[in-house]
Structure 1
Amino acid sequence: MLCPGKVFLVGGPVRDRLLGVQAHDNDWVVTGATPEQMLAAGFTQVGKDFPVFLHPETREEYALARTERKQGHGYQGFICHTNPDVSLEEDLQRRDFTINAMALGPDNQLTDPYQGQTDLQNRLLRHVSPAFSEDPLRVLRGARFLARFYHLGFRVAEETLTLMSELAIQGELQHLSAERVWKETERALEEADPEQYFQLLQQTHALEVWWPELQTLCLQPDALTIPDELKGSGQSMQVWAWLLKTLSSEQIQTLNIRLKSPRRYLDFALLYEAFRHTLYTPENTEQVLMLLEKSGALKQGGLFAALLSMLPADDRLLKQQWQSLADNIRQISARQFSEQGLKGPELGQAIRQQRIQEVSHWLHRL
């Protein structure tokens, strides 16, 4: 299937190819074509604000080259302009960082008008143009890219740090929606060094806007240190709970409600805050049983498996012991007591006493 105009691979896939890391998606830009030509070639239009088309075979997205003009606040205040005369260089100029403003043509010829390859070699996150300040979401994106590439030696250019700070101080981040803020935050939690996301937001005065509860933590060198087994594991819920573990339950609820995070993130953060000491050092029978009940360990599903994943990777024995206890308690059924003629409150009390006894024996064996 031939695409009208000239097709370029742009943005993240080009950056990742030059870095030698795997790219998950392709990002295509088409110059010299009209929406009508794309549709005639079999593409399906999906973009509402600007022309984006799905390839009829690969279903990958192809966007017509465009320019943007700021109108209003936030990340939605843009008017997009696209026509066959918009050049590749003009399209690349609207992008956030120089390392994301490169393109590869059909002949693998690199187009790099803003020295992205040099910044890539120097491990530098630098904005493309002053238009960076038109989109406050780029502050969060910059922090997320630092979380992704920090282990490769990346840092943020001083002039870019200045622009990020100005955006935060001027109140531009307040115009972002909670949904977009959470989406960037959640993605940052899955990166190789999630703590760098929050450290940079603190450095640029952005943390106080959406995450004020974390400000004190960012001033403590070890407070944001995340275990290696959680970093880059895709366990964003567990990373979030780890970061919030020293907050009060009220602070955890306030922060999650403000960010409109999914309910499981709030529930698990509260669970870990309440029972993390019991998880690592089980001593009290009632606390152990309550942990099992609250985490859903006594039935299928629940958050028990996620809770066990918070244990250190080298403490496999304790993880196995917790799992064994949960398995044993699940074996305690109402049938064995109902056969003795117990029912109602007496039946419930008998089951609970049996569970307490099982936990007590388990603690003595530790």
Structure 2
Amino acid sequence: MPELIPVFDLKSEINIIYDEVLESIQEVLKSGQFIMGEQVAAFEKEVADYLGVRHAIGVNSGTDALIIGLRSVGIGKGDEVITTPFTFFATVEAIHQIGAVPKFVDIENCTFNIDSRKIEEAITSKTKAILPVHLFGHAAEMRTIMDLAKAYDLKVVEDTAQAFGGEYHGQKLGTIGDVGCFSFFPTKNLGAYGDGGLIVTNDDNVAEIARKLRVHGGKNKYNNEMFGYNSRLDEIQAAILRIKLRYVQSWNEKRRKVAKIYSERLKEISNLVLPMEKGGIKHVYHQYTVRIVNGNRDNIYEQLLARHVQTMIYYPLPVHHLPVYRAQNIDLNLPVAESISKQVLSLPIWPHIEDKQVEYVCNTLQSLLS
């Protein structure tokens, strides 16, 4: 039996780029410039070029990217924002933080993303935006979402925290709507070694507002035009992200190869539903998330851990069932999200996971589910 196989492991990545990272940190230290300096400016230019957008604005977290992104397109108090109930809480928390109101739409059971066919019936006179999440690295159905946004004059803010480098019909995720929001939490496909986030847009006005909001609401430090935030991507994280940006394409391809092995090895298990990749979509497998459909998910999780395989449950509760909503006594009928949350299990995946580790995970899961 091997040592514990974690659900994610940074050690091999760090070994590969250790010297480059160390040199870049030393350069920042020697410069004496730690906030909004040359590294941030260079990273913003490089990541904008990679994504194919006019503007990239570094901020201090993915959560702040969502908050500032929503405000930058004019979303505010009382506005309804249509989004998914099956996501990390930060997606919905950002909506609340600006005084807007989340309007939940159920999800697809095949991709775990918002069901675009159900969005239109949720639109009211108060609806001002749609906030799709490209969950686990698979794109939401952006063509339908953008058509609805155009028809009803809505803004689209993409939560791309888990899908850096993913594509929808040849276009990078995060660049399709009015604003794209990214997280650089260390476990992400492009992750910093600390917190960090990014806002991208092709709209000059939106970019200008976002840049003001990240530094207390003004172009000039002593000429504040609005109430903003202290939300800056720091120089050391930007320097590290510049290095990792050069690797992210190949590392995403390695994730896809791991996913292909899982899908081939596990496809014959009858009570296991594997993640899918719709046509025209490039899934970047931030997570490889299966569904265990026999009602035995929690037991399988424990049995795998006992056999030295760590898995994760993303997410054990849909957002509308979290305590913060339970206290508000909100009664919502979102059956797919509620069912999926009892079935999902994310298997170990990272670019440098070893073949023997993947084989062991597959063999162990097969033996438990056969």
More helix by share: 1
Normalized against structure 1, the TM-score is what? 0.25
- Quick check: which one's strand share is greater? 2
Larger Rg: 1
TM norm structure 2: 0.25
Structure with greater contact order relative to length (CA < 8 Å, sep ≥ 6):
2
